[in-house]
Chain A
Amino acid sequence: MNLAALSLENAPRFWTPVRFFLTVPLFGILGAAILLLDGGQLLQSRWHPAALAVTHAFTLGYIAMGMLGALLQMLPVLMGVTVPGLQRAAACLHLLLTAGTLCLVSAFLTDAAPLFGAAVLLLVPALILFALAVVVAIRNIGRTRGAAGAAQLAAFALLLTVALGGYLAAAYTFDAVPLQRGLTNYHAAWGFAGWIFILIIGVSAQVIPMFLTTPPYPDGFNRRLVYFLMLLLVAASLLPVAGAGRAVTAVTALLMAVYALVTLFLLLRRRRKRFDITDWFWRLGMVCLLAGGGVLLFAAFAANGPAADAQMLAGVLLLPGFALSLINGMLYKIVPFLVWLNLRMPVLKGQVPPGTRIYAPSIHEVIAERPMQGQFLLHACGLLLLLLSLTAPPLWTRPAAVLMLASNLLLLVNLLQAVQLYRIHSAGRRAA
């Protein structure tokens, strides 16, 4: 292992990943606001324009935003990948992802072809270049096992997801491009099972034992799961066999259930029993993954193909339930860790000038515990009401949206609390 490359000298500046993390709750607020204004019509069908708008506010603005921010921090520090011009490239990527997602969400809501065109121009080149850079950089360092290997495969899946999404958006823009709705299933499968799920499996092998003091995952478990998922996705995409898609969905659902059960088992065996809000976000996420996998499995064997309500149920369980919960929980680890890293490490390395008034917080002091617990309750209750909305839309949708809105506002306030702590104390050092 290249220990020199793991030196913190390679770590990006504080703002490089943090600007991504601060944008995450803003898109959570946007998604909840659309749900609030819509009042529940969008829950009737996955093809409803507002449903597509909320889905992309969550998948691009929340999930991809959080995952790209985390990758920009992890690639150089934990995986030893050095990217020239990282700070500037990350700032551009953040700007393009934010603007592109806003265009795409607006395009779905207004059905305006120019907005679809703008979204393609802003998102596709930026995300494809990022994904290619990750694939090539990890290949160059020659570490294709563990989190680095999973990140490489996830980046490859992101590449395909964006290419398919770009084609679909182009079909909304230009009459000459035929809209092939069948491609949406491949776009969703590569996006969820490839990009999101594979990266989470790979990264969780490192961060769950590290931040939540669980025993490690069984030897080779995460690696095998990642390869198996990739194999299934490739098979489902290339095999022109009737029923192959259904079989692959069923096996993928089983793999989701296995991963969720193993992770829950590890979370129950934490070495330190101290209350930790990230633990609860992950437990909630794993229960949703287990349930979402169950719904997919059931739908795969339904006599007349998956029913529309089963698809919506699986979507709610897997995106807001699983992916948003995990990213929300991880933000409460990564952001305080970055504040600690950037305030404490210069002290440990003797880089602070003599006479400087030093305050380097413990990681537990960065964000107050109570507001994080309150935000978890808002998130969990909002999710529960959103699930109830699938059965009685007019009754529960608006309360669910209000809770989700409040949850994301509080998440933003909590993260800003951490950032403010960093600003005050880093400014104090610069002034000294």
Chain B
Amino acid sequence: MMTRKLDVRSLAAPEPLERILAELDILPRDARLEVTHWREPLLLYPLLDERGWQHSTVHDEKNGIYLISIRRPAT
């Protein structure tokens, strides 16, 4: 599966949410989006759930970042 990376650490709220959703709109069907964020995007999760996107988050404590992996639901 192809992975597209998006680093939103330098963006101020609410730009990370807007950028992630914009990126998902053009994400190829067989790709997944890996987002690097400095905090957990709590406002994003309900929007992803409503749209049926699958997502998981890993906290990299050593580097102080969150890695959020998002992909379309299996059909």
Contacts and interface: CB of A to CB of B under 8 A. Distances in A.
A78 B50 CA distance: 20
B64 A210 contact: no
Interface string B55-75: 000000000100000000000
Interface in B1-35: 9-15, 18, 21
Contact of B50 (A211, A349, A362): A349
A238 interface: no
Nearest to B64: A216
A78 B13 CA distance: 13
A303 interface: no
B14 A8 contact: no
Contacts of B42: 1, 3, 6, 78
Q: Which of B38, B50, B64 has the most CB of A within 10 A?
A: B38
Interface string A354-373: 00000000110000000000
A209 B13 CA distance: 9
Contact of A340 (B14, B45, B64): B14
A211 B10 CA distance: 10
B58 to A, nearest CB: 15
A272 interface: yes
Interface in A306-361: 337, 340-341, 344, 348-350
Interface in A372-423: none
A213 B43 contact: no
A210 B12 contact: yes
A212 B10 CA distance: 9
Contacts of A363: 14-15
B44 to A, nearest CB: 10
B13 A210 contact: yes
Contact of A348 (B12, B45, B47): B47
A237 interface: no
Contact of B12 (A1, A6, A78, A272): A272
Nearest to A350: B50
B10 A271 contact: yes
A44 interface: no
Nearest to B9: A271
B46 A8 contact: yes
A6 B46 CA distance: 9
Nearest to A3: B45
Contact of A211 (B13, B18, B45, B64): B13
B47 A349 contact: yes
Interface in A274-304: 276
A110 interface: no
A272 B10 contact: yes
Contacts of B45: 3
A216 B10 contact: no
Contacts of B38: 209, 215-216
Nearest to A273: B10
Contact of B43 (A1, A8, A209, A362): A8
Interface in A51-80: 78
Contact of B11 (A213, A215, A348): A213
A225 B61 CA distance: 22
Contacts of A349: 47, 50
Contacts of B47: 348-349
Contacts of A341: 14
A7 interface: yes
A344 B18 CA distance: 10
Given A349-B50, A363-B15, A210 B39 contact: yes
Given A7-B46, A209-B38, A216-B38, A337 B14 contact: yes
10 nearest interchain CB pairs?
A271-B10, A272-B10, A210-B13, A6-B42, A7-B46, A213-B12, A211-B12, A211-B13, A348-B47, A213-B10
Given A210-B13, A215-B38, 12 more contacts: A209-B38, A211-B13, A213-B10, A213-B11, A216-B39, A272-B10, A340-B14, A348-B47, A349-B47, A350-B50, A362-B18, A363-B15
Interface of B: 9-15, 18, 21, 38-39, 42-43, 45-47, 50, 64
20 contacts: A1-B42, A3-B42, A8-B43, A8-B46, A211-B12, A211-B13, A212-B12, A213-B10, A213-B12, A215-B38, A216-B64, A276-B12, A337-B13, A340-B14, A348-B47, A349-B47, A349-B50, A350-B50, A362-B18, A363-B14
